[in-house]
Structure 1
Amino acid sequence: MKQLILALFVFISVQPLFAQRADKEGSQDHPLIQRFSQSYIYFYEQTSFDPYTIVTGKSDGSKLISTQEVEGKVTRIFYSMPTEAGSVYEIYTNYLNALKSEGATILFSCKNVSNCGKYFWDYLREMDTKIQMPAYYGEEMAYIAAKFSKDGMAYYVTIIPGYGLSEMGYEVTVVETKEMEQQISLNGIEKAMNENGKVSLYGILFDTGSDVIKESSYTEIDLIAQYLQKNPSKKVYVVGHTDNTGSYQNNISLSERRAKAVKNVLTSKYSISAGRMTSAGVGPVAPEAKNTTEDGRKKNRRVEIVLNEK
């Protein structure tokens, strides 16, 4: 079996690619994903910012069980290749193993109806009108969806190999989204407070439905304490935010309890006067991103420190 690597992780010499036809004019491989031997680019499209739906569960015969919406820079590449250069199973297995071995999260993978579910490919084409896998490739098909991170970017990848009517092809789609900044400094907090009157904190974490602060959160709480100690005349609001999962009232209550928990720990552990802080929870009513994607919901779950300048 030919060994496939991801250009993201390893750069080594590989056998030359003997394409039967030239790549489509203006096309190129995505710099993080290496093509399979002897394949050439039949279709290429890149958009600066678009939504994209990833399948994360098989079909139950009436619909796709689960999907995930992401958005960002989208690159679609459809490769064609001679049938003697490989098989659907070979392409599927090589990409799947390469992704797993380098630490990518496999969101979903399946091969043929037995794994993917009845009408999976029909639903996939209905959901994604831009998909290039033609219907006649359906004699044998497979699907991989994965996510990995590099240099502050999150990459969502789908790979769909297929065979039909003595033709072989596979489609690679890469969606690049910016990871949320988790690193914050005292200087960064001071700059945000001076320029915007508030700072958003994404590293103050809780379990789902809980107002118990996770231990990893104290890095950011410590920095807020340092800011308040350095600026003893400042008063602030401690504001809890949630995504829109669950009922409105539950989210309001949860965000209030979480804000109060942060205020209490600043008082009990760091001796910040309770009179300098007012806690409040606004639930899902002031989102920073759309709640239609997991990345958006993650950004909406936050604690903000807002200047009280009365």
Structure 2
Amino acid sequence: MIRALPLCLAGFIFANPALADLDLTFPGPATETFAKTEQFGSYKLPVGPYADGFVQTLVAEGQQTTRAWRIAIDVGTSLLVMDNLRQQLEASGFELLYECTTEICGGFDFRFATDVLPEPVMHVDLGDFRYLAAQRLGGPVPEYISLFVSRGGDTAFVQMILVGSPETAALTTKSGDAVAQVTPAVPTAISGSLVAALLRDGHVVLNDLQFETGSSALGGGPFQSLVDLSEYLKANPEFRIALVGHTDAEGSLQGNVSLSRKRAQSVASRLTKEFGIPSRQLEADGVGYLAPRASNLSEEGRTQNRRVEVIVTSTQK
């Protein structure tokens, strides 16, 4: 729940920081996965951690631009990406309002209580993400910006929400020669083994699991995904994962969150009781229909949205 309070990379030089456009240069080849501008938006900007069931926010109003990118960073880290982005924001006149890392932000609860684009346009590793909020004063209206940075394999994921005046909120980005822009597609298959995909991307869907309609009881199996996952967890006892349940958008949010959580817990219970995986390597929760990977307007999309996903929550390999 959110409680609202009313109201990168390289450095740049600006003649008038308070009125200048915002230019960002990414540290590697970047692919824009989402771009949308609303002439007037009202955005609850998080300015504090998740605590006591709430995320403290400020209400930012004005033209709202939401964009997301995937960036090839090789051996770079989410810390490196966020530090460089922060430097560019500060050079352009923005002042930091709040910044946090995974645990300080509030982890799972913070991520799902704030506005984050769904997969595949934006990926947030629940064990490794960073958040920043900043403001820039001096123009016709105050400007506010939030950044989410996370990582999966050798790819960094960046989401930016910028709210301000149309006259001062222009944004340009570049990475080397140019930023490639594509329309992302929902992946229909995973190349290679489940574990290889998990290590590469930081998350993977357990596509072979079966539940009775409206039930949290996991089918009898056997499920190859759990066999493969359990073998890796046994061989790597320091490795930790989160099982996250998802539903389609039919029914109430409260009911779907409860169902998705119980399904994730059923999978965790199976891994513990049948495969002997220590509970310390597992956590389970559900988000209902809050993180779709396809449209809920079609049966095909609803089927894709009903899933249990594995997310890496440890940083050791």
What interval of TM-score do these two structures reach, taking the shorter chain for normalisation?
0.3 to 0.5
Pick the structure with greater CA Rg.
Answer: 1
Bigger helix fraction: 1
Identify, as 1 or 2, the structure richer in strand: 2
TM-score, normalising length: structure 1: 0.43
